[in-house]
Amino acid sequence: MHIVYKSKPMPIHIDEYEHNSFEYDKWIISDDYRELKPGYEYRIIVSTKGTIKDYNDLTYDSILASGFVEKLTMLLKYVLGISLNSPYNQIFRKRIRAIDFREIPKGWEANIAEIDTYLMETLPSFARAVPIPTNGNMKTSILDELHIALNNYDSLDEEIKDLIAVHNSAIESDERACYLIMGKLIDMINWLYPLKHRLDRRIKETFPELIPFFGDTTIKDLMGIANSRKETRHYNASPQSPHPALTNQEAELYFQRIDILALDIVRIRLGLPKIAVEDEK
């Protein structure tokens, strides 16, 4: 027998899917894609190359497998573009969320399904609408890029590994912690790509592929928000002048722009293609 890890199903449509796999160290990494009615499911599957023959093998390989899957989960953010283990599909609004796809916190279980079944049995009749989230569309499987990311991760500079760790911490946290950690993330990016001119041209000159998404927003602008809002700093500008709260639009753009900037930086350092952002105008 082999130890097998399967990611949770991700609602991603793939235009041209062909099942494939590759070997990396002690593991075989593959994927699985299914078109359902309604929706789509895409998973990453990790299995041990070696056979489990006794409890010593089980204990040793399960420890190694868990560590490897944690590393794989971290890198999936930069290959897929979405986080596998974020408590939200994506934070769009600071205070408004029409549909909350929040998962049960790690380490807990709940009887929500049991209560749902009970409530349904108490109704004489009912109609139910189930929202089907669609996180994205891919032309082909991500396995080729995932293989590149795994091969190149160990050779990254320590500063980029730190950036990956902080970025993943932000997208896995709740909203209260998220904005604080994103403030640290943009601070790290500001250090990695220091301002060399009076006008901040870092996005236009270093990351021109992000211009359709950023518009006129600069790294300096994001640093300004990080240093001047109570959610991102948690202290007052002065005893007489408290920091204002993030507006809904600021919260949305602050999170999304720092997120996609970090995503682009890490993809480039991992040897993956730059992000392609379409201009909606």
Residue range 83-131, pLDDT digits in tens: 776 654 444 333 333 334 455 666 777 777 787 777 777 776 655 555 4
CB 214 within 8 A of CB 281: no
Which of 36-50, 86-100, 146-160, 171-185 is the least confident region? 86-100
CB 18 within 8 A of CB 40: no
What is the model's pTM?
Answer: 0.81
Which of 32-46, 155-169, 203-217, 235-249 is the least confident region? 235-249
Residue-range definition of the domain harbouring residue 165: 156-281
Q: Which of 155, 189, 219 is the last residue of a domain?
A: 155
Task: Give the pLDDT confidence score for residue 98 in this predicted structure.
Answer: 38
pLDDT band at residue 148 under the 50/70/90 scheme: very high
DSSP-assigned beta bridge partners for residue 42: 10, 33
Residue 175 lies in a domain: yes
Residue 136 lies in a domain: no
Distance CA 44, CA 6 (A): 6
Residue 115 lies in a domain: no
Q: Count of domains in the chain?
A: 2
- Cis geometry, peptide bond prior to residue 38 (ω within 30 degrees of 0): yes
Alpha helices in 154-229 (DSSP H): 158-172, 175-192, 202-206, 211-214, 219-226
Residue 122 lies in a domain: no
pLDDT band at residue 40 under the 50/70/90 scheme: confident
Residue 200 lies in a domain: yes
The beta-strand segments (E) located in the chain are: 4-6, 12-14, 21-24, 27-35, 40-48, 136-138
254 and 166 in a single domain? The answer is: yes
Distance CA 109, CA 116 (A): 15
254 and 281 in a single domain? The answer is: yes
**Residue 2 CB coordination number (10 Å):** 13
Taking CA atoms, 272 is separated from 31, 183, 189, 213, in Å, by 19, 25, 19, 20
pLDDT band at residue 45 under the 50/70/90 scheme: very high
212 and 238 in a single domain? The answer is: yes
Residue 278 lies in a domain: yes
Residue 128 lies in a domain: no
Distance CA 279, CA 205 (A): 18
For range 224-230, the mean pLDDT: 86
65 and 166 in a single domain? The answer is: no
CB 270 within 8 A of CB 149: yes
